[in-house]
Structure 1
Amino acid sequence: MLRFDDLQLFVRTAETGSLSAAARLLEISPAVASAALKRLEVQLDVRLFARSTRSLRLTAQGELFLEYARLALQNLEDGRQLLAGSKAGISGLLQLSAPSDFGRNTLLPWLDEFQQAHPQLHLRLLLGDRVSDLFREPVDIALRYGAPEDSSLVALPVAASNRRVLCAAPEYLARHGQPQSLSDLARHNCLLYMLGGRVHERWRFFDGKRELSQSVSGDRLSDDADVVRRWAVAGVGLVYKSWLDVAGDVRAGRLKVLLPEWRGEPTPLNLICAHRAQLSTPVNLLREFVQARCAELLAHAPWNA
């Protein structure tokens, strides 16, 4: 019979791409990890990984077995949680990836509140603006703007009506004036960031009937959306950001929404996972919690005024 800890080691090794890294995560020695992997391969009578002195990768049989191993572990965890009782008693490790700006400045205090309500739950939070590889990285779910490029992933809406908004700090507007039209953006310092490895320098807007696209430029560019928001708050230039990212700054007066008659491009926030089997009780509770908090922010969005 296959052992639970052997399956767990196999999945963690596939996710991290390293047997030693998986051993550290599971707090076992490399020798024990190596023996467990060999035992699993013997029981299955297949080679799960192709190994060399410098790399480790899944074989075709390993790729095939990985999905079933994940499902088996998730089913066992779901059964354990079912026996554990009420929602208030959820526990275990929840590994979450989120965008840098939304994660640091909006999500982080929400997670504190969520974990206070569920003290037996352990969180591992990874922040970054590139799309996490849910099959390789040690995360269960990801919060991401927009639909995933990989159609095989499961995407559930969290803030479907979210949009970008054009903003600037009062200090910037006092020095450079406020744009009166979209064409005015060409003479302003627009703070740019990377989306999918490309510079986001064409900003799209809607007035209910038509769409206009405005090319912009500026003297600062970053691959970290939080850095761009901080530049805007410091009064360096204009920023075109998700409302969920800047709602707190707008309400505190650090940023001002510009040209509110133009709607920014849709930027829905979704919860993404590799398999529906990963939609465990903690994941569903967290999604409902974040969804409710996002709805509170969206109720004050400029397009709802």
Structure 2
Amino acid sequence: MVRFEDLQLFVRTAALGSFSNVAREVGLLPGQVAAAIKRLERDLDVRLFARSTRSLRLTAEGEQYLPFAREVLATLQEGEDRMRRENTELQGLLQVSAPSDLGRNLLLPWLCEFRRQHPALDLRLLVSDQVADVFKDPVDIALRYGVFDDASYVALPLALWNRRVLVAAPDYLRRHGKPRTPEELRQHPCLLYSLSGRLYDRWRVGDETVQVAGPLFSNDAEIVRRWAIAGEGLAYKSWLDVHQDIEAGRLEPVLPEYRGEPTPLNLVCPHRKQYSPAVQQLHALLRARLEPLHARLAATGAWQQTPE
């Protein structure tokens, strides 16, 4: 049976080209390294190196075997690292930034669950609709809506299937009626949202982008949600932010036959080196909690294709 240590010495010998160099690196005698290579060759029944008094080079069989040896070692190392991470208690401080709706209404109980699972870990939740700068702000990770094609970030998917949905309170719809087409949105008071001074008053519904207007706007998405529940008008919100209201009957989907704008949710961190065990385990928990909501989105009727 091939020994793990022999594979390691084979890979290092192929890299350094000398038994002596490998021996110095790992604290063995050159003869011990040579013996390990001979043992591996005997186990495989092939000659891995062509040796002479002045040179050491891989044979054709050695060249062919080398990538497999590297892959085996990498897999074993990954398994060892994962076991070590899972068996190590999470400690320190994890700082998380999230949008206002998501942080207050969805993320909060999941973070409490995560904290109970890891009592030695301190969590700091920063809730704001202002987009956190993961390079400058005091955060380790940020939950963000949208598509990220900036190579300077690491964006880990959480809910790529998420979309915006048009919603209104049942009372509002009884008083004002339901719009039947995207164009009819212009006849309704729409609840508007601003971010960094930009007013989001162009709503993409199906294949159309409609310029909407209304007497109320806020820079806090949670306020827009509350206005919608109070019957003040139509809102165009991330389904994750309003699905509980839809299921409880506080809000109803409007024009569900028109596909809403994609609003994928990602976990963003500055660099893969900051993908710590705490971040990995939180990412796994959030994906596990979010995935069942995918089917519930389809059940609302707000996941249908745009009509022809």
Report the TM-score when normalising by structure 2: 0.68
Which residue of the partner structure matches residue 267 of structure 1?
Answer: 263
- Alpha-carbon distance change, 190 to 304 in structure 1, aligned in 2, over 3 angstroms: closer
TM superposition shift of 1:91: 2.2
**Which residue, out of 225, 230, 234, partners 2:230?**
234
Report the Cα distance in structure 2 between the residues aligned to 1:108 and 1:282, rounded to whole angstroms.
17
Q: State the SS of the aligned residue for 1:126.
A: strand
Report the Cα distance in structure 2 between the residues aligned to 1:234 and 1:87, rounded to whole angstroms.
48
- Alpha-carbon distance change, 177 to 164 in structure 1, aligned in 2, over 3 angstroms: same
Which residue of the partner structure matches residue 96 of structure 2?
Answer: 96
Q: State the SS of the aligned residue for 1:132.
A: coil
TM superposition shift of 1:119: 1.6
Which residue of the partner structure matches residue 179 of structure 2?
Answer: 179
Which residue of the partner structure matches residue 64 of structure 1?
Answer: none
TM superposition shift of 1:105: 0.8
Report the Cα distance in structure 2 between the residues aligned to 1:111 and 1:223, rounded to whole angstroms.
25
Structure 1 unaligned runs (5+)?
Answer: 1-80
**Which residue, out of 245, 257, 276, partners 2:272?**
276
TM superposition shift of 1:158: 0.8
- Alpha-carbon distance change, 84 to 157 in structure 1, aligned in 2, over 3 angstroms: closer
Instruction: Summarize the alignment of residues 1-305 of structure 1 with structure 2, pairs less than 5 Å apart.
Output: 86=86, 89-148=89-148, 150-195=150-195, 197-206=197-206, 211-301=207-297, 302-304=301-303
Report the Cα distance in structure 1 between the residues aligned to 2:195 and 2:255, rounded to whole angstroms.
23
TM superposition shift of 1:137: 1.1
Which residue of the partner structure matches residue 18 of structure 1?
Answer: none
Q: State the SS of the aligned residue for 2:138.
A: coil
TM superposition shift of 1:298: 2.1
Task: Answer whether contact 1:244 1:298 (CA < 8 A) is retained.
Answer: no
Task: Answer whether contact 1:88 1:117 (CA < 8 A) is retained.
Answer: no
Report the Cα distance in structure 1 between the residues aligned to 2:258 and 2:168, rounded to whole angstroms.
15
Report the Cα distance in structure 2 between the residues aligned to 1:284 and 1:108, rounded to whole angstroms.
18
RMSD in angstroms over aligned alpha carbons?
A: 2.0
Report the Cα distance in structure 2 between the residues aligned to 1:121 and 1:84, rounded to whole angstroms.
17
- Alpha-carbon distance change, 263 to 85 in structure 1, aligned in 2, over 3 angstroms: closer
Choose 1 or 2 for highest CA Rg: 2
Give deviations 1:126-170, integer Å, cap 9, x for gaps.
Answer: 011111111221100000001347541111111111000000011
Q: Which has the higher contact order (CA 8 A, sep 6+)?
A: 1
Q: State the SS of the aligned residue for 2:179.
A: coil
TM superposition shift of 1:180: 1.3
TM superposition shift of 1:82: 8.2
Q: State the SS of the aligned residue for 2:296.
A: coil
- Alpha-carbon distance change, 280 to 175 in structure 1, aligned in 2, over 3 angstroms: same
Q: State the SS of the aligned residue for 2:124.
A: strand
- Alpha-carbon distance change, 195 to 148 in structure 1, aligned in 2, over 3 angstroms: farther
TM superposition shift of 1:88: 7.3
Number of paired residues? 221
Report the Cα distance in structure 2 between the residues aligned to 1:88 and 1:255, rounded to whole angstroms.
44
Give deviations 1:251-274, integer Å, cap 9, x for gaps.
Answer: 111100111100100000011111
Report the TM-score when normalising by structure 1: 0.68
Task: Answer whether contact 2:153 2:269 (CA < 8 A) is retained.
Answer: yes
Structure 2 unaligned runs (5+)?
Answer: 1-80
Which residue of the partner structure matches residue 44 of structure 1?
Answer: none
Q: Counterpart of 1:260 in structure 2: which amino acid?
A: P
Give deviations 1:189-234, integer Å, cap 9, x for gaps.
Answer: 100002453111111022xxxx111111001111111111111011
Q: Counterpart of 1:261 in structure 2: which amino acid?
A: E
Q: Counterpart of 1:216 in structure 2: which amino acid?
A: V
Q: State the SS of the aligned residue for 1:178.
A: coil
Q: Counterpart of 1:113 in structure 2: which amino acid?
A: E
Give deviations 1:227-250, integer Å, cap 9, x for gaps.
Answer: 111110111110000000001111
